[in-house]
Structure 1
Amino acid sequence: METLYITHPACHLHEMGTWHPESPHRLDAINDQLLASGLESYLHPQQARSATRDDVLRVHTPEHLNYLHANLPQQGHFSVDPDTLMNPYTLDAAYHAAGAGLDAVDALLQEGERRQAFCAVRPPGHHATRDRAMGFCFFNNIAIAAAYALEKYALKRVLIIDFDVHHGNGTEDIFADDERVLMCSFFQHPFFPGSYQQPQPKNMVNIPVEAYCKADHVLERFETLCIPRIAAFQPELVFFSAGFDAHSEDDMGQLSLLEADYAALTRMVMQTCASSAHGRVISMLEGGYDLSSLGRSVVAHIRAMSGV
């Protein structure tokens, strides 16, 4: 069975300056590696729909949405913060990035023709809180998709795995103490966004790891702390907030994961959720800024996710 591969041309048009690491070249690098690996023939491509205002408002405040629209530039850039900028195409890209997750949910839960989906979209989303854009993120794509699945399909248990090098503070802000959602993540700490706090919400399993922590230690801690919680939770649908900037070649962080580690983590989660989620998993691109390691890691992740 082919894995759904969802993207949209609008995601190439959002850019924050030639100096910025979160660039359209990231999607090109992924596509190049998919072609080189031969994996493209196992993927079913689909253009993402645009999410609606109501879709976004499931997880964001009207004030947040209105602020972004009011400040969308007609030319040049508007700085939400020093690292997070809008150009004239940013919101079109953001609506399509969020829409990719909605398409994936429908494909897996309504149409039933697919079991896995990878959303190659940008801007990323996991730092966007209910009322704030930050950390390259405007809408929280994974949260919008999860909230849609919970509401439209009346799911009772949704799992979110975030393996970006940065803490997914926005996703935690949105789903903290929501018993329908279990979120498990590891991230470098102390590090941006500096949001890790104790005590953590009961439905969050956060694993802060120090800079230069070895990959086998990271995976061991994930297996020890997260896998028992996931097994007990029995999720009906799995989401990956798939950031690949914990790779050893990525200068954005100081962790040391390799492609094989992303594959091992993916298989670990898939095996744990096999009976409850029936293989239904949606992965949405977050970070990953070294172009070569990003593309290779996405290939490894999709292979492990789809069993190819």
Structure 2
Amino acid sequence: MSTALITHAECLEHVTPNGHPERVARLEHVLHALQDLELTRVTAPEVDEAQLRYVHPQSHIDAMRAAIPDEGVHQIDADTWASPGSWRAALRAAGAVVKAVDMVLDEEVQNAFCAIRPPGHHAEKATAMGFCFFGNAAIGAKHVLEAHGLSRVAIVDFDVHHGNGTQDLLWDEARALVITSQQMPLWPGSGHPSERGAHDNVLNIPLAPRSGGAEMRAAYEAQVFPRLREFQPELIIISAGFDAHQDDPLAELQWATEDFRWLTRELCALAGDLCEARIVSTLEGGYDLSALADSARAHVEELMEAAS
């Protein structure tokens, strides 16, 4: 089988102010880096509101729709902005992950990468924050459970910032294991190991500022991989943030592109052992354009290798 690349041009219509790190050029660079790869290219649908309600109340959905300006840009919180194209971009972003889950579980493709924006892992139940409108990965996880009837799904989030939104959205979901590694201390300030979920279904892996690939690999081998084997997920969702790269301007971890390649390869190998190699990956952070493009390509190349 193949690897799907799921995206939509409307994700480029989500515009932020000049100088904002979560900018249109991020997705442009990722798509350029992947343009010559032999991928199954799929247009992302819009998510259904019923699927958004897997994790968000209707009041949040309505508030996000109301926050979209007719022109210019509108500030939602200190970091999160909306433009006239942001609503449809957000619907496509969440819809891409739902579509990826459907394609992987229907055996149309082996795995999938969702090249989307806005990202999602900071969006809490009723709060848009950290550049995020809706919890894309969490919506995908609930779709695995509710629409496809599987019993266990895992999310692995290696973005440099803690996925507070994913943790919040799935805190009470015993069928979902949420594993996140993140620099600590760093915004948003959550992600302590004591945060374990209502059913011991959350595993947080803090990483010290200036630590690099060796420390990451040791932490994943000692904690993450054994926990995944214990949980036995039937599909793995990756929140693929590439801002732990040593060149990223928003944090201080010192990963190299090859560290993202290694981690993807190891997660693919685990998925091969545990869940018929079924993986859905969705783009989160990464703000140095060259590092983002190189790391995303390495990530997708490993997905392709696992699908071959």
Preserved CA contact (<8 Å) 2:156 2:239: yes
Within the candidate set 134, 137, 141, 1:142 is matched to 137
Cα distance, 1:199 vs. partner? 4.2
1:58 and 1:238 mapped to 2: Cα distance?
18
Equivalent in the alignment of 1:186: 181
1:147-202 residue CA offsets vs partner (Å, 9 max, x unmatched): 11110111111010100000000000011142211111110111111122424221
CA distance in 2, matches of 1:89, 1:23: 13
Distance in 2 (CA, whole Å) between partners of 1:199 and 1:175 is 12
How many residues align structurally? 303
Which of 174-183 and 277-286 deviates more?
174-183
Spell out the pairing of 1:227-266 with structure 2 (5 A cutoff): 227-266=225-264
Partner of 1:212: 210
Question: Which residue of the partner structure matches residue 20 of structure 2?
Answer: 20
**Does the 8 Å CA contact 1:234/1:273 hold for their aligned counterparts?**
no
For the residues of structure 1 that align with 2:264 and 2:100, how far apart are their CA atoms?
18
Matched AA of 2:119: P
Structure 2, unaligned stretches of length 5 or more?
Answer: none
Q: How does 1:116-135 map to 2 (within 5 A)?
A: 116-135=111-130
Distance in 2 (CA, whole Å) between partners of 1:86 and 1:101 is 21
Give the match's secondary structure for 1:81: coil
User: Match for residue 80 of structure 1?
Assistant: 76
Aligned to 1:91: 87
Q: 1:254 & 1:28 partners in 2: Cα distance?
A: 24
For residue 114 of structure 1, give the secondary structure of its aligned residue in structure 2.
Answer: coil
- Report what 2:100 is aligned to: 104
Q: Does the 8 A contact of 1:5 with 1:120 survive in 2?
A: yes
**DSSP-derived class of the 1:11 partner:** helix
SS at match of 1:125: coil
Report the AA paired with residue 91 of structure 1: W
- CA distance in structure 2 between the aligned counterparts of 1:173 and 1:234, rounded to whole angstroms: 22
Does the aligned pair in 2 maintain the 1:4–1:43 contact within 8 Å? yes
Post-superposition shift, 1:108?
A: 1.1
SS in 2 for 1:240: strand
> Which secondary structure does the structure 1 equivalent of 2:303 belong to?
helix
CA contact (8 A) 1:73 1:87 kept: yes
In structure 2, give the amino acid aligned to 1:252: L
Q: Which residue of 2 aligns with 1:65?
A: 61
Rate the CA distance shift 1:218–1:267 in 2: closer, same or farther, 3 A. same
Letter of the structure 2 residue corresponding to residue 228 of structure 1: P
Q: Is contact 1:231–1:273 with CA below 8 Å preserved after alignment? A: no
2:160 pairs, out of 161, 165, 172, with 165
Q: Distance in 1 between matches of 2:235 and 2:81?
A: 33
- What is the CA–CA distance in structure 2 between the aligned matches of 1:305 and 1:205, rounded to whole Å? 24
Task: Judge which range, 63-72 or 157-166, deviates more.
Answer: 63-72
Unaligned runs of 5+ residues in structure 1 are: none
Q: Is the 8 A contact 2:191 2:205 kept in 1?
A: no
Which residue does the alignment assign to 1:271?
Answer: 269
Deviation, structure 1 residue 96: 0.5
Shift of 1:273: 2.4
CA offsets per residue over residues 214-272 of structure 1, 9 Å max, x none? 22111111110111110111111010000000001111110011111111111212222
SS at match of 2:239: strand
Q: Which residue of 2 aligns with 1:10?
A: 10
Amino acid at match of 2:62: N
Q: CA RMSD in A?
A: 1.2
Deviates more, 1:272-281 or 1:152-161: 272-281
Distance in 1 between residues matched to 2:108 and 2:54, nearest whole Å: 26
Q: TM-score normalised to the size of structure 1?
A: 0.95
Specify the code of the residue in structure 2 equivalent to 1:166.
H
Q: Using the TM superposition, name which of 139-148 and 68-77 deviates more.
A: 68-77
